[in-house]
Amino acid sequence: MAIIIDRHTQTIVQGITGTNAALHVKFMLDYGTRVVAGVTPGKAGQEVAGVPVYDTVRDCLKQHPDATVSSIWVPPRSAMDAILEAIDAGIKSIIVITERIPMHDMLFARHVAGQKNVMIIGGNTPGVISPGRSLVGMLPRIAFQPGRIGTVARSGAVTYYVANSLNLAGFGESTSVGLGGDPILGTNFEDVLRLFEQDPETDAVVMAGEIGGVYEELAAPFIKEMGKPVIAYITGKAAPQGKRLGHAGAIIEGNMGTAAGKIVALEQNGALIAPVLGDIPVLLKRALGSVH
């Protein structure tokens, strides 16, 4: 079992004929992901790496009714429409690779998704991987191996480094989720922590946050309710106030979004804090009694 995607998940790709999407469709198929169809308006009848292309998500699902996941690779100004189209057609999980989506667009899409009980990962997510089972997005397969540790992070690069640290220590990942780097996200840390808490094949969770926003602080109270250990790592501790580093969402304003504030909130609610990435496996072994 895995969260969000597994080896049986059928997925579609919106914007499949774009250069990046077409490239990564091949990588996803090579990994074993069941990419059953793609959508690009006006390109119906074409194929990408053997995957049929349709004009709309509804047309796609008429032929592939078991598809439950879509990944979105369209330009930022088209992202909201693509998300809403997927929701309207009945897709249940949407993984939005597109970055720098206008904030009001994402707020509206997230509102509609909440009403329909649809999960949106992203925008600006590198994707989701359940190692050895399925990959949706652009995560590098070499960085992940099957295991029983769930990971969730804002940053794609930190996601890779966390997985590499786990792998070198003899752990592996049940599922790794990239929440995304945009200021407004469809899914937050607490949503993913809840899924990991319910997953019988996840023994512990590594949560990697960063400066900016309040997603980490909002998730902290739920950690106290969890029966599984949570290791937390916050990057950007040396960033000056008002400085944006990499992600659109990684900016400190006033006393909000500081690394120190996040660390205090997480630690007070039971998370084990890793000062550096290399401490994550050490804390995991301690929390799990060296059994993994």
159 lies in some domain = yes
Whether 40 and 111 share a structural domain:
yes
Same domain, yes or no: 272 and 179: yes
In this structure, are 110 and 178 located in the same domain? no
In this structure, are 108 and 218 located in the same domain? no
End-to-end CA distance of the chain: 17
Q: What is the pLDDT of residue 67?
A: 98
Quick one: 170 and 70 in the same domain? no
Residue 142: DSSP 8-state: G
CB 145 within 8 A of CB 173: yes
DSSP state of 75: -
In a domain, 266, yes or no: yes
How many helices (H) and strands (E) the chain has is answered by: 9, 14
Tell me the C-alpha distance between 184 and 187, whole Å.
9
pLDDT of residue 137: 98
- pLDDT for 291 equals 44
Whether 127 is in a domain gets the answer no
- In-domain check, residue 52: yes
What pLDDT is attached to residue 262? Answer: 93
Quick one: 108 and 156 in the same domain?
no
In a domain, 131, yes or no: no
Active site amino acids: 247
Burial of 178-212, coded b for 16+ CB within 10 Å and e otherwise, reads bbbbbbbbbbbbbbbbebbbebebbbbbbbbbbbb
Do residues 195 and 119 lie in contact, with contact meaning Cβ atoms separated by under 8 Å? no
The reply to whether 231 and 166 lie within a common domain is yes
pLDDT at 292: 44
List, run by run, the mean pLDDT of 10-residue segments along the chain (292 residues): 93 98 98 98 98 98 98 98 98 98 97 98 97 97 96 93 95 97 94 98 96 89 97 79 53 65 94 95 90 44
Residues 182 and 227 in one domain: yes
CATH number of the domain at 108, please: 3.40.50.720
- Residue 66 counted as domain residue: yes
- Which pTM was predicted? 0.92
Say yes or no: 282 and 146 in one domain: yes
CB atoms within 10 A of CB 253: 11
- Are both 110 and 222 inside the same structural domain? no
Total of domains in the chain: 2
**What domain range includes position 25?**
10-121
Do both 199 and 262 map to the same domain? yes
Could you tell me how many residues make up the chain? Answer: 292
Do 116 and 153 sit in the same domain of this protein?
Answer: no
Q: Is residue 250 part of a domain?
A: yes
